[in-house]
Amino acid sequence: MNYVRSEQPLDLASAKEERPKTRAELIKEELADAIVRGAIGPGVALDEMGLAKRFGVSRTPIREAIRQLEAIGFAEARPRRGAVVAHITQARLNEMFAVMAELEAMCSSFSALKMPAEEKAALRSLHEQCAEFAEAGKLEGYMDLNFQFHEAIYRGTHNSYLTELTLSVRQRLAPFRRAQFSGFDRLKLSVVEHGRVVEAIERGDADGAAEAMRQHLQIVRDSVDEVKG
C-alpha cells in the first residue's frame, strides 16, 4: 500500500476517487456488523455453503470475506473445520480503543504542527462535506467521508510510518466504528467532535488537537457499548 511521503502534500482529489468495494468486502462488512451487534455470536461456525446461499454468491467471495474477517481478528481459522466467530472481550476492546485513541491523538498533534495551509483547507472541506451528509442523514456517504476525514489527518502528519500504523489499527476497529452510527444522533454529534479537532489543527494547537481527538475516540468507544446493548 502506498502512502503519502513527507515531501508530498495531501491530494484531496485522489483521496475521493476510491475504487468500488468488491463483493467480498461488502459481505465482510455485513458479517462484521452482525458480529458487533451480537447477531452472530462467538464460536458460531462461518459455513461457506450456507453463507453463499444466503448472499446468493459462489463460495469464492465468501471464502475471501472470511479471510478478511480473520485478518482483523473477527474470525478464527480451524484446521480442516472452517472458521468460527472470534470472541472479543470487553477488556480486549478497551485495549484496542486505547491504542487507537493515542495513535489518532498523535496524528492530530503532528498535523497541527506539520499541515501546510492547503492541507488544512482540504481538511476543512472534508469536514464541511461530512456536515452536509450528516444533516441529510446519508449514512453510507457519511461513513465514507468519515474515513477520508480521519485518513487526511493521518496523512497530514507527513510521517509515513505513523500513517501505516494508524491505518492498520483502524482496520481492526473499523466494524466497531461503523456500528457507532446506529446510536442516537451520532452523525451530527460526530461532526461536532470533528469540528473541535479541525479548529485545533487550523490554529496549530498540537495539544488541543490531540485532546479533542482523544475525547472523540472515547465517545466512539462508549457509543459502541450502547449499540451492543
CATH classification at residue 40: 1.10.10.10
Q: How far apart are CA 141 and CA 186, in angstroms?
A: 14
- In terms of domains, do 186 and 122 share one? yes
Number of domains in the chain: 2
Q: Which amino acid is present at 223?
A: S
- In terms of domains, do 136 and 166 share one? yes
DSSP 133-168: HHHHT-HHHHHHHHHHHHHHHHHTT--HHHHHHHHH
Query: Contact, 178 vs 143, CB < 8 A?
Result: yes
- Give yes or no for residue 225 having a pLDDT over 60: yes
Q: Which of 191, 225, 197 is nearest to 212 (CA)?
A: 197
- In terms of domains, do 70 and 96 share one? no
More confidently predicted of 74 and 2: 74
Query: Contact, 142 vs 194, CB < 8 A?
Result: no
* 2-31 per-position pLDDT tens digit: 333 333 444 444 444 456 889 999 999 999
Task: For Cα atoms 32, 211, 147, give the angle at the middle one, nearest 5 degrees.
Answer: 35
- In terms of domains, do 53 and 161 share one? no
Query: Contact, 164 vs 1, CB < 8 A?
Result: yes
- In terms of domains, do 199 and 157 share one? yes
Question: Is 96 inside any structural domain?
Answer: yes
- In terms of domains, do 175 and 196 share one? yes
- Please say which residue of 34, 59, 85 terminates a domain: 85
- In terms of domains, do 163 and 216 share one? yes
pLDDT at residue number 186: 84
pLDDT at residue number 184: 58
